[in-house]
Chains A and B, each alone.
Chain A
């Protein structure tokens, strides 16, 4: 199976995959199909099971239950070296006792492919590192090592290329460059890419399909725009960008939309953009869809109005300004406004009203009782993620 270069990418199919480690379940009944030639991103916080999924596909772990099919062939029972799969490891895992060139040629030699060194040089030229071919990996910078790791995997033309947070250690500029290079390589060779990351921006810019993973299960899957514009769960709404979420009772239902009473404020949501249409529901709207008004706007059909509220925080970020508005009964609402004029439009303490087009709202599938209230602050979120990582490391060690 692992002989010769793959002619094209292969489908990857996971059927009912479950993976249990002593003490916890990493993945529960995961079903996933990734069509050949696609760039698929598995997005989720640390510990959501995405890396375990990748390791299962690579053959570095055995599933507790379920089957893995690559190009229609069941590879569940095969070992990693028998699978037409290559991985770009998060830690690069470049062999320290071999030169860069030997590292890249390693897989080719194992498969007895003609002219391994020539092909390795070619792959190194692709990542613009042919001039360091004779050096040892430890003599390279982190970014260079990452590119060597990429070359070492891509040179084998695997039917399926697995990327485990491969761009994590790069600075922004190099990251962009590598993102474009990766995309180019993928389009040139038509391989199937499975990309695991916790970076939502990376997932959205690179992948044609994104699956958001949480607690060992896929929360939602689709094209990046689709996921962003129409999140179905509070987790997706907050992990992929930011969202303003409100919870209330459905009071009246029209033909195309229904109205939710959130602490006295009536908010209209389109029926087809909502997962639940009766009872207690959670609805949301993206911060950039909101408009700030300093005078009370006239009620108009097709527009939701909330307010008045007070601006509690203004944070200027160049392209846009993020306003945090405290609205009585609704809590904090975040607004992104593009900086069409110089500087912020309103200052802290100003009285404002917020409006948005009804079509931009969305309704979530979560049971509101369970739906967690997410802190929109990304900093605290990253702290939480780090804490979680630490806890899991300790769990693993124990």
Chain B
């Protein structure tokens, strides 16, 4: 379902001999064991934690197992705003990253096709930021975009911004940071799709009276949809849970806190593990729901 976008629709071989399926099972065993140990067990533990209640008469941070739905009631009444904000930021940042990445990926994958060396160089440049920790890069942006930084002071100097204007700590700065940090994750899958794009389809579009814009929307974009879908998922999912960009220490402020920031503070500051766990579960469920609707709607199954 949700991850169908990554899989190519390979024909299912029904009549494979029995023995082979046993070998396949054996080969799958390490993977299954890994998932059970490092995904399933923590997930169950997380779910159980989310129902815990405070042990009476103990210090902060001591909880006992129970079936306590109050944690969920509490987060929906208290942190609903943060959840909506997270989804909103994630959608806007994903769209921004897409708008920036698609032309870039097209340029690298199609325009530079005849120059393999330049193409390789451009791809390296897309990946290059990964060589520096994203914490450092985000901090650098904080410096650049700060009130005394070169951007804001120049804009102020040109009277394009009022003297009391500031950018860091606002929603705009957080969304900017999120989009910036995830652009490579958007660009690479789209590049992979566009790099394989057979330009003869584009020519056929022109031959059949479609203007370049029409050809783009009817031919190029649908044919690169697998890359766009992979890219948006790889961007949207981590952005929804991000807690770095929106935090006080980086590009955000208390007004821009996302679910990730709440989980962090509940866990580390308040030591309210059940609430943090419940928030994680809700965030995960929300992402799964949104992503499966998105993948269903975009109908990737039919794509080649």
Contact = CB atoms under 8 A, between A and B. Distances in A.
Is chain A's binding surface mostly helix, strand, loop or mixed? loop
Contacts of A60: 203, 206-207
Interface string A97-111: 100000000110011
B75 interface: no
Contacts of B207: 58-60, 80-81, 85-87, 89
Nearest to B214: A110
A107 B207 CA distance: 8
A123 to B, nearest CB: 13
B290 to A, nearest CB: 24
A155 to B, nearest CB: 10
Contact of B206 (A79, A91, A95, A156): A79
B304 A138 contact: yes
Contacts of B223: 95-97
Contact of A156 (B204, B209, B212, B219): B209
A211 B204 CA distance: 26
A89 B223 CA distance: 19
A93 B201 contact: yes
Contacts of B164: none
Nearest to B222: A97
Contacts of B201: 93, 95-96
Contacts of B198: 93
A151 to B, nearest CB: 12
B122 interface: no
Nearest to B215: A81
A110 B302 CA distance: 23
A289 B209 CA distance: 50
Interface in B198-218: 198, 200-201, 203-212, 214-215, 218
B303 interface: yes
A335 B302 CA distance: 57
A136 B206 contact: no
Contacts of A87: 204, 207
B112 to A, nearest CB: 15
B302 A156 contact: no
Contacts of B222: 97
Contacts of B208: 81, 86, 106-107, 110, 152, 156
A116 to B, nearest CB: 12
A350 interface: no
A81 B211 contact: yes
Which interface class (under 10, 10 to 19, 20 to 34, 35 or more) fits B?
20 to 34
A60 B225 CA distance: 25
Given A96-B304, A97-B223, A97-B302, A81 B206 contact: yes
Contact of A80 (B206, B218, B225): B206
A345 interface: no
A2 interface: yes
Contact of B203 (A2, A85, A93, A152): A93
Interface string B28-42: 000000000000000
Nearest to B299: A97
A106 B303 CA distance: 18
A80 to B, nearest CB: 4
A324 B304 CA distance: 53
A96 B219 CA distance: 9
A103 to B, nearest CB: 9
Interface string B231-275: 000000000000000000000000000000000000000000000
B204 A89 contact: yes
Contacts of B205: 81, 95, 106
Nearest to B203: A60
Contacts of A93: 198, 200-201, 203-204
Most chain A CB within a 10 A radius of its CB, from B205, B209, B223: B209
A80 B203 contact: yes
B214 A95 contact: no
A85 B218 CA distance: 20
Contacts of A81: 205-212, 214-215
Given A58-B207, A81-B211, A87-B207, A136 B302 contact: yes
B8 to A, nearest CB: 13
A85 B211 CA distance: 14
Most chain A CB within a 10 A radius of its CB, from B204, B218, B304: B204
A94 B198 CA distance: 11
A111 B206 contact: no
28 contacts: A2-B209, A59-B207, A60-B203, A60-B207, A79-B212, A80-B203, A80-B206, A81-B210, A81-B214, A81-B215, A85-B207, A89-B200, A89-B203, A93-B200, A93-B201, A93-B203, A93-B204, A95-B201, A95-B218, A95-B219, A96-B201, A96-B223, A97-B222, A97-B304, A106-B218, A107-B208, A136-B302, A156-B209
Given A86-B207, A110-B209, 18 more contacts: A59-B207, A60-B203, A60-B206, A79-B206, A79-B212, A81-B208, A81-B212, A87-B204, A89-B204, A93-B204, A95-B205, A106-B205, A107-B209, A110-B208, A110-B210, A110-B214, A138-B304, A156-B209
A-B pairs with the 5 shortest C-beta distances? A107-B208, A93-B204, A80-B206, A110-B209, A93-B200
